[in-house]
Every structure is written in structure tokens, then in C-alpha cells.
Structure 1
Amino acid sequence: MSRPPAAAGSGARRTRCPRCGFPVLRQLVGRRAALDVTADAAELSAEAAEALHHPNRLHWCLRATRDGPEMRWADCRRRPETCPHPHVIDHECTGPPASPQRARTPPVPDGQLTL
């Protein structure tokens, strides 16, 4: 059985975090129930990424493809010293918190319906 062709632009995009400006990689990882992943662009060894890993911060195997870098689930967690690929870790933003949305006042007095 052959693997389905990858969709155009399915690899990781290099961009900057809108809050802190740190260089990151963005990608939908997975084929069915994909995760929208934002990871630090700094490449780490599998062992270093495993050391930074915790339940709310995953690490990803970064594979070089003909279309550019692609993040994949890090299946090498049992033996990270044998993985030849660089790894990246989820981005933890250190920028200022997003500004709260200002409450909009309705254009009519309380109790009056708008059409």
C-alpha cells in the first residue's frame, strides 16, 4: 500500500511568534486529527529535547524533505540517543499577555432589541 501524496504546503513554515518575536516553526502535524503546532525553530538533539519535554510541552522530530522541513511525532522516545534527526520543542511564549478584548457597548439602550 502506498502512502498518499502530501498536500501542497504541508511542511513546517518558518515564522515569528506574534507576541514575543521569537523564530518559530508552524505546522499541522498529523493526517486525520492534526495538531496546530508552534515550535521553537532552534534544532536540538533528541536527548536535549527529551530533557525539556513535559506533559504540556511536546517535542517533535524534524525531518528534511524535498519540500522543506516537516515536523513529525517523536516516536524515538524510548531510545533518543539513536535518532539521527534534529528535534524541536513546543514554543513557550515569554511575550506580554495578549490584550484583553474591550467590551463593546450595544448601540441601543438596555432592554431595547436591535434588528
Structure 2
Amino acid sequence: MTRPPSSSSGARRVRCRCGRTVLRQLVGNRAALDVTADADELTAAAAAMLREPNRLDWCVRRRKDGPDLAWVDRRNHPADCLRPHVIDHQCTAPAVPARLPARRKRKPTPVPAGQLSL
């Protein structure tokens, strides 16, 4: 029997459109969450203070291929965790304007004007 794939290949550092460096990763095995977190590392207590209902904090585990984000579950995660933590990113860049759908141009008829086409 084969082993199930790991939850992810780790977080990758990317630049947000606001200019900050962030960590991006799919976290979870089944219903993965696309996480974008600030790359600034915090202590567990400092990250918990910044936590909000729609802004989560993540535990950063060091792997041989780079950082790996893990859920911070209040029941299973120690409050005095010594690993660094990060918080979800809140982008400060202006919103991207919605693009209007492109208008389709009518194709010219393949027959001269006045002639019926079947």
C-alpha cells in the first residue's frame, strides 16, 4: 500500500501586489485552505493577540525544503509553542477594478448584401 501524499509541498515566498513578502501554501489534506500569510515571524502569544474571526495565525515548521504552515488548533496546539508563528495577510493595495467582458464583433455575412443564405 502506498503512503498518502503529504499535505503540501511547503510554503513559498511570493510578493503581494501591495509589495510585502508573503507565504503562500495550501494547508490541509482534504479541504485545503489557500493561505496567504505575512512572512514576518511572531511568537505564539503575539500571533494569538492578532487573531480575529477572519484572520488566523499559523505555526511555521522548518522542513528541509523550506517553511511549512500548520493549523493552530486551540485544543491540540500548545499555548507555549516555541516555533515561530505568522498571521494571515491583509493586503493594503487598492482593489483591482473589475474588467468588463469583451464585446463580440459580429462576423460579416459570407454572402453579399441582399442575397439570402441558407
TM-score range, shorter chain: 0.7 to 0.9
Provide, for residues 41-94 of structure 1, a one-character-per-residue CA deviation record: whole Å limited to 9, x for no partner: 0000111111110111001000101121000001357752x1011100000000
Provide the C-alpha distance between the structure 2 equivalents of 1:60 and 1:32, rounded to a whole number of angstroms.
Answer: 18
Equivalent residues in 2 for 1:1-115 (5 A)? 4=4, 6=6, 10-17=9-16, 19-76=17-74, 80=79, 82-108=80-106
Q: Which runs of 5+ in 1 are unaligned?
A: 110-115
How many equivalent pairs are there?
104
What TM-score, normalized to structure 2?
0.78
Considering only aligned residues, what root-mean-square deviation do their CA atoms show, in Å?
2.2
Q: CA deviation at 1:106?
A: 2.5
Q: Which has the larger radius of gyration?
A: 2
Q: Percent identity?
A: 57
Determine the structure 1 residue equivalent to 2:113.
Answer: none
C-alpha separation in 1, matches of 2:5 and 2:50 = 33
Do 2:6 and 2:29's aligned partners in 1 also have CA atoms closer than 8 Å?
Answer: no
Letter in 1 for 2:6: A
Contact 1:76 1:83 in 2 (8 A): no
Report deviation, 1:5: 5.2
The Cα of 1:96 is off from its aligned counterpart by: 1.1
What stretches of structure 1 move > 4 A for 4+ residues in a row?
A: 76-79
